[in-house]
Amino acid sequence: MEEPLSPRESGRFLSELSRDVFVVEEGAKCVAQMIFELRESEDFTASGWKKNNPLAPPPDSDEAVNWVFVTDTMNFSFWPDKEEEQCEVKCRGNNYRGYMSLCAAVTRAMDEGVPITSPSYFSQITEAKLAHVLRSDTTTPMPMLKERHQVLTEAGRVLLERGGSFRKFMSHCENDAEKMVKYIVQNIPSYRDEAIYEGKRISLYKRAQILVADFWGIMEARGEGNIPNLDCLTMFADYRVPQGLVYLGALRYSDGLMETLKNGELLSSGERREVEIRGCSIWCVERIQHHLWNLVEQRDGKKCHINSALIDFYLWAYAKKHHKEMAHIPIHHTRCIYY
């Protein structure tokens, strides 16, 4: 079987053929200008990663990098069936929803003495014990418990076969982001986020790429976390960032797709419109990065350090912060293990 197109190649391919999702070049330029004004902000550094992930353990220990592995392995499908019925987890005096509810649940378990970051433990954890770890502080449980249990135990067994920790697993990859993504995808089935579009095998690799970026972030870009070619990563195609891109005018949905999403219709994983939303989001952020790098070169006379992964982190946080203002733009909903 032929190798799939890389996420970047997939984004370009999809943007050229897409029928319902379109990259708006002028909008991409405007977002690039917005980020240019913030280019010296801590948001675009490894320490900015820590600010957005306050529940993560301190860097350097196996506990820290395994925490990233556990959370990213289960990092999918947090949206509620009904907006008013949210899964919520309380940890260290604060309440968390969405992806942060997962981070809170894992950190809460650590605070309670559960060895949830140990591969020898989570590779064999029962579904009932994981249900307790991920328990909600509301009547709405975290979605897809069975799937989270399956992918976590499977991934834990892989780590045990390849050194016993995520740090040792990644040591095979020579601090190379591209090799890291390939190694993750080749060895852990739940990270193989691929589809067929117009007869072509494409890849999106949301969780594999964000796992590499989070490894870089939690290690504060030091030691094994000093990854010189982080630029090879694209954005991490999910459901929140596309909404932000539409809100900011860098991405446009057809009237038909917008109507479908406003009616609350679920899109299945791998279907044409779902793949177009995710693939065109990747290419949209590539265009934002292109315009941003041009701005920095022209006005500052130097190379820009802000890559697609950092733009994604910024846009995800932006979408969360401005969720009320962009509530009129529907989020696409797909229940799957990939995002």
The DSSP secondary structure of 160-190, one letter per residue, reads: HHTTSSHHHHHGGGTT-HHHHHHHHHHH-GG
Give the confidence band of 93 by pLDDT, cuts at 50, 70, 90: very high
> What amino acid occupies position 4?
P
Query: Could you tell me the pTM of the whole model?
Result: 0.96
Q: Examine residue 131 and state whether it is found in any structural domain, yes or no.
A: yes
Q: Examine residue 329 and state whether it is found in any structural domain, yes or no.
A: no
Q: Which one, of 113, 219, 99, 206, lies nearest residue 166 by Cα?
A: 219
What pLDDT was estimated at residue 47?
81
Q: Examine residue 234 and state whether it is found in any structural domain, yes or no.
A: yes
What pLDDT was estimated at residue 59?
85
Q: Examine residue 100 and state whether it is found in any structural domain, yes or no.
A: yes
Q: Which one, of 73, 233, 215, lies nearest residue 156 by Cα?
A: 73
Q: Examine residue 71 and state whether it is found in any structural domain, yes or no.
A: yes
Q: Examine residue 218 and state whether it is found in any structural domain, yes or no.
A: yes
Beta bridge partners of 91: 94
Beta bridge partners of 96: 89
User: Cα separation of 298 and 282, whole Å?
Assistant: 25
Domain coverage including residue 117: 7-322
Q: Examine residue 149 and state whether it is found in any structural domain, yes or no.
A: yes
Active site residues: 238
Q: Does residue 138 surpass a pLDDT of 90?
A: yes
DSSP single-letter state for residue 232: G
Interior CA angle at 73 toward 309 and 280, to 5°?
A: 40
For residue 338, give the 3-state DSSP assignment. Answer: coil
For residue 113, give the 3-state DSSP assignment. Answer: coil
| Per-residue pLDDT reduced to its tens digit, 26-72 | 999 999 999 999 999 998 988 888 888 999 999 878 899 999 999 99
CA atoms within 13 A on the CB side of 9: 9
Helical (H) or strand (E) element with 233:
none
How many domains does the chain fold into? Answer: 1
Q: Examine residue 188 and state whether it is found in any structural domain, yes or no.
A: yes
For residues 108, 112, 117, 121, the Cα torsion angle rounded to the nearest 10 degrees is -130
